[in-house]
Amino acid sequence: MGSDDRFAYIAMGHAVNLVSRLEGQTKTYRVGGIIGETTRAAAPSWAALELDLIAVKGKQEAVRIYTLLGDSELVQSGDFIDQAKHHERMLARYRAQDWDAARAQDRDGGLAALAECKSHMSSLAGFYDVYAEVSPISGRFARAELGCRLYN
């Protein structure tokens, strides 16, 4: 963009628009940063956890979003491997709308999926609180509530 005397450069397009919207969702998900599927695919050896599937204006399919937690050294640590396992279990329970399994104690007396996640990675406690706050148990439906706050 510009003329012969003055040039102005601007980033445009779907990718830039998506990044802008994802940055705005850091407050919703209470994390330091959010990356999309393309960035995650470009850095598969880095430690990242999936946050959600979100609706993006102008797209038919949901976009998977992640938070980046560290480098390839972290991804190989036992603590991160444990956290990722608990995190995936919690997301699977929420996506299946298995609220009791997500929030209640396991049959063997272990912590609920959310509590287990919070106990393994306190840096994401705010994120796990989002899932705890928006569920039928708190009087709101999790997916609908999160979806209402996205891109409106």
State pLDDT tens for residues 90-145: 888 888 887 777 766 555 544 577 778 888 777 888 888 887 776 554 444 444 33
At 2 the pLDDT is 54
pLDDT over 90 at 42, yes or no: yes
CB atoms within 10 A of CB 116: 20
Rounded CA separation 82/121 (Å): 10
pTM, rounded to two decimals? 0.74
Highest-confidence segment of 37-41, 60-64, 116-120? 37-41
Residue among 75, 84, 67 at smallest CA distance from 47: 75
Ranges 10-19, 37-46, 102-111: which has the least confidence:
102-111
pLDDT over 70 at 16, yes or no: yes
Which amino acid is it at 144? Answer: A
Query: Residue ranges of the domains in the chain?
Result: 14-148
pLDDT over 90 at 74, yes or no: yes
DSSP bridge pairs for 49? 67
At 62 the pLDDT is 85
At residue 124, the 3 state secondary structure works out as helix
Which amino acid is it at 7? Answer: F
Q: 54 near 32, Cβ under 8 Å?
A: no
